Amino acid sequence: MTAGGKTLAIESLDVWHGQLRAVHGISFTVAPGETLALVGANGAGKTTLLRAIAGAHLPRSGHIRLGGEDITRLKSHERVARGIALVPEGRRLFGQMTVEENLLLGRTARRPGDWTVERVLDTFPNLKPRLKARAGTLSGGEQQAAAIGRALMSNPDVLLLDEVSLGLAPLVVERVYLSLSDLMKTGVTIILVEQDLGRAMSVANRIICLLEGHAVLESAAQDLTRDAVTDAYFGLSRHTAPVEAIP
C-alpha cells in the first residue's frame, strides 16, 4: 500500500505563461486511491496543470491542498516530501547512471512506505534484466517503467503521470498499461495525462477534459461515452465553457 491516503484538492487554480492564461480557474478533488485522467488536445493545459500541482510552475491564483495542507507556494522538492511525485513527459532519467541508481534517487525524499527496488521490479518485470544497465541504453518502454519506478520509490500519496504513451510503439504501450493496471490495485492515487482517449477511459475512475485551459467536462469514466468525450475534446459539447479574452 501507499505511505498513506491524502485527498488532493485543486481550488480555482489559474496558471499563466507570460501573458497567456494556460489554466482557467480549475477546481477538482482526487480521493485517495482514485485514478483521474486529464484529457484534451495539445495546448489544452494538461501538462501545465500537472506541473503546477508538482510545484514546477507556480499558479497566479488559487490553492492546492494535500490532506488539508495548503502546498500552493511550496517548492517542488518540498512537495515530494509531502507526498507528490511527478513522472514528466520525456522521462528525464539520468542516462549515464544505472537503472538501479536512478531508482534509488527516489529514496532521497525519505518518506516511509513499502516501495523498494524489489517491489518496483515486481511491478515492472521488464526492468529486472536491465537493473545494472545505464538508463540511456534502455528502450522507450523500459525508460518509462524506470521513470515511474523512480517516482514510486519516494512512496508518494499522489503520482502524476504525464503522457505515458507518448512516443512508444503500440505493443510497448500495451505492456506499460498492463503494469499500470497492477499499480492501480496497490491503492496509489494517480493523475494521468493522456491523449489516447481509449487508454484513459479504460483505466481511470474519472475523466476531466480540458479545452484551452478550461475544464469543459468532468464525469465518472463509466458514465461517459467516447463520443461525449470526443465532443468536449474538440469543443463541440454543450459543456464547453467560453474562451476568455486575455486582459
179 backbone dihedrals φ, ψ, rounded to 5°: -65, -40
- State the pLDDT confidence band at 237, using cuts at 50, 70 and 90: low
Domain boundaries, the chain: 8-233
Q: What is the mean pLDDT of residues 22-39?
A: 96
User: 151: which residues sit within 8 A by CB, 6+ positions away?
Assistant: 85, 86, 87, 106, 159
Select 8-233's CATH number: 3.40.710.10, 3.40.630.30, 3.40.50.300, 3.40.190.10.
3.40.50.300
204-224 core/surface letters (b: 16 or more CB in 10 A; e: else)? bbbbbbbbbbbbbbbeebeeb
Please tell me the predicted confidence (pLDDT) of residue 131: 98
Identify the pLDDT of residue 3. 41
What whole-number distance in Å separates Cα of residue 215 and Cα of residue 5?
25
Q: What is the pLDDT of residue 182?
A: 81
Question: Residues 37-76: pLDDT tens digits?
Answer: 999 998 999 999 999 999 999 999 999 999 999 999 999 9
Query: At 2, is the pLDDT very low, low, confident or very high (cuts 50, 70, 90)?
Result: very low
Q: Share the mean pLDDT of the chain.
A: 90
Judged against a pLDDT cut of 60, whether residue 244 lies above it is answered with no
Each residue of 103-155: pLDDT tens digit? 999 999 889 999 999 999 999 999 999 999 999 999 988 999 999 999 999 99
Please, what is the Cα angle at 15 between 12 and 21, to 5 degrees?
105
